[in-house]
Amino acid sequence: MRSARALRRPWCAIALVVLAACGGEDGGGEGGRAVVTPDVAPQATGTNDAADRAPGANARTDAESAGSGADRPDVLLISLDTLRADALSCYGNPRDTTPFIDALAARGVRFSNCYAPSPHTAPSHMSLFTGLLPLAHGIPNASTSSTSTSNLNEGIPTLGSVFSDAGWRVVMVGGRGQLRPAMGIALGSDFHHFKSTTFLDGLEVFDEVVATEDPNEPLFAFFHTYEPHAPYLPPREFDGHVFRGRYTDPDAKGLFASRYRALIDDPNAAEKAGVFLDVKGPLAEDEAEYLRGLYEENVAYTDHLLGRLFELWARHRDIERTLIVLVSDHGEQLGERNGALGHRSGVWQELASVPLIVTGPGVEPRVVDDPVGLTSVPATLLELVGLPPLPVAQPSLLPLMGPSPSDLGVPAFTQDAFGRKRSFSAAIAGLQTIVFEREEQRRAEHFDLARDPSGRTRFEDVPPEAVALRKRLAARMLADRAFAQELPPSVRAMGDDDDLQKRLAELGYTGGDGEDDR
C-alpha cells in the first residue's frame, strides 16, 4: 500500500487574490482585495496506488523550517458524516448518546456553536481543507444527473498539501461517494483511499496504513466515515452493547421500523440510503419520533466505533502528542421543518449546526460559545503546529481558545450555493442569523436564536446588529464570487465511471442540485 514519494514537478508562481473578510458594519472591508503571491504555486506529488491515488498538489511555503520532527505533533482530523450537533449528549441531548465524544470534549475545547459551510458533503469538506466558502472554491456535490465534475483550482493550497510540504506524512481514508480524490481533497497525500462503505471497512484500511507509518515522522491523518448517514441501521448488539432498541421500540410496526428490518441483514444495506428516507408528505408524530430515536441509536453506535478508532491510533502513535479535531460536514433534518428529511437543501439550524472539538498538546479544556465556522479549522490547525496560515482561509480560532478569549470579529458563514432551483447563504453573529435566498438577495430572513434557539421562527423586526450582519453577508458573497472568477475550478466530463454513478445513486444523490440531493 505504500511507496516512496515521487519527484514533484514545479509549477509557475501565480498570484492569489485574497478577499479580506474583515470590515465594519458597512461591509465594505469584506469586498476589499489584496494580492498575495506565494513563492511557488501548488505542485504535484507522487502516488502509490494507481487505483487510489490522484495527481496531488502542494503549495510551497517557508513551512519546511517550522521545527524538527521531534517537536511536531501528529494531527488526526476526523469527520463523521451527517452528525447534527444536538444529537450529542455533550451538546445538550438529554440521552446519553455519545459518552466517548463527551470524554474527548472534556479534555479539549468544544465549540458549542459551530456551523458547517454547506449542507452537502463535497463542498463542506473542500471548505474544511481550504478555509474557503463553497462560493469561492466552487466544488459542488456530484449527482447521477451530472454530466461533469468540478475539481479544485490547482493554485489553491489545502491542508494536505501544506502539511506535506512542511514534512508531515499525509494519509487519508474515507467513504466512497462524494469525496472524490480528483476534486482536490487528496492533494499532498502520500496515501489515500476513498472507497469504504462502512466505518469498519474504513477502520481496517486505516489500521493497515497507520501501522506502516514511521512513528518518528510526524503524521497528518484524515479519517471520514458515512456513519451516521442514512440508512440508520444501528445493530441490535455490538461488542456486547445494545444499540437498536435504546431509544425506539424494537417491535414497532411503522414505516421506518419496516425499512430497518428489511435492510438490517442486507450486506449492501449501507448503499441504500436513497430509498430509506424517501417519504411523500410530512411524517406522523409517532413516525418522526421513531426516526429521531433510530438516528440517535446510530449516533450512539458511531460513538462506540470511534472508541475503536482511538484504540487503533494509540497502538501505533503517541496519542498524548496528537492534535485531534472532530467535526461533521453537516447535520440532518428529521422532519422538524415541513416534514423535510435528510439534507437536501437549506442553511437551517438542524443542517448547519455541527460539532467541533479540538484537543491535544497545548489545548486547555474550555467551552467556546461564540459562533464559528469549519472554515477556520485550517488556520487553527496550522497555528497550533507553528505553520504559516493558508493565504486565503478564514481566521484561526486560537484567540477564542486561550484563557482571555478575544472576539474574532468575523461572522460564521454557511452556503447552500449550487442549487438550480433554490440556493441560500447565511451569516451568524452572536444570536442573530440572516439568510439570503439566492445570490440576488431577493429575500432576506431574520432569525433570532435568543428568542427561538431552534432557528425556525422568522422575525419581522430587524435590530441594527442584524442589519449590519446582512451587509456583511452581501459583501462576503460578492467577495467569494470574485475569488472564484480569479481561481475557478476545472470542469471535467463525468465519463463512464459506473462505480461512482452507482454509489451516488445508492446514497440518494439523484438530482442535479442540492434541492434533490441527500
pLDDT digits (tens, 9 = 90+) for 71-128: 899 999 999 999 999 999 999 999 999 999 999 999 999 999 999 999 999 999 999 9
CA neighbor of 188 nearest in space, from 161, 165, 154, 169: 161
Q: Is residue 11 part of a domain?
A: no
Which range, of 136-140, 375-379, 460-464, averages the lowest pLDDT? Answer: 460-464
Q: Is the Cβ–Cβ distance between 212 and 184 less than 8 Å? A: no
Between the two ends of the chain, the Cα-to-Cα distance in Å is 33
| Segments forming the whole domain that contains residue 459 | 16-64+74-142+156-507
Neighbours of 470 (CB within 10 A): 20
pTM for the model: 0.83
Residue 45: give its domain's CATH number: 3.40.720.10
215 to 164, 218, 445, 490: CA distances (angstroms): 16, 7, 51, 37
Burial of 310: CB neighbours in 10 Å, binned 0-12, 13-18, 19+: middle
What does the pLDDT read at residue 268? Answer: 77
- Identify whether the C-beta of residue 38 lies closer than 8 Å to the C-beta of residue 13: yes
Number of domains in the chain: 1
At 460, the amino acid letter reads E
Q: What is residue 44's predicted lDDT score, i.e. its pLDDT?
A: 30
pLDDT in tens, 399-436: 999 888 888 889 999 998 776 566 788 899 988 888 87
CB atoms under 10 Å from CB of 15, counted, come to 13
Q: Is residue 5 part of a domain?
A: no
Could you tell me which of 168, 171, 45, 120 has the C-alpha nearest to residue 419?
A: 120
The percentage of residues in the chain with a pLDDT greater than 90, rounded to a whole number, is: 54
Give the integer Cα–Cα distance in Å for 224 and 213. Answer: 19
445 DSSP assignment: E
Whether residue 55 contacts residue 39, with contact meaning beta carbons closer than 8 Å, is answered with no
Angstrom distance (rounded) from CA 388 to CA 390? 7
More confident residue, 298 or 477: 298
d(Cα 106, Cα 92) in Å, to the nearest integer? Answer: 14
Residue 1 belongs to some domain of the structure = no
> In Å, how far are 68, 296, 304 from 201, measured between CA atoms?
34, 22, 15
> What does the pLDDT look like over 10-34, one tens digit per residue?
222 222 233 333 333 333 333 332 2
* Residue 7 included in any domain: no
* Greatest extent of the chain over all pairs of C-alpha atoms, in Å: 64
Residue 171 lies inside a defined structural domain of this protein: yes
C-alpha–C-alpha distance, residues 439 and 421, integer Å: 12
d(CA 200, CA 309): 9
**Any domain includes 3:** no
According to DSSP, the β-strands at 237-238 and 241-242 are antiparallel
Identify each DSSP E strand in 390-501 by its residue range. 412-416, 424-429, 432-437, 443-448, 490-493
**CB-CB neighbours of 279 under 10 Å:** 16
Nearest to 274 by CA among 308, 231, 316: 231
Query: Which of 122, 130, 212, 131 is CA-nearest to residue 171?
Result: 212
Q: What CA–CA distance (Å, rounded) separates 395 from 390?
A: 10
382 inside domain: yes
3-class DSSP state for residue 176?
coil
Report yes or no on 515 lying in a domain.
no
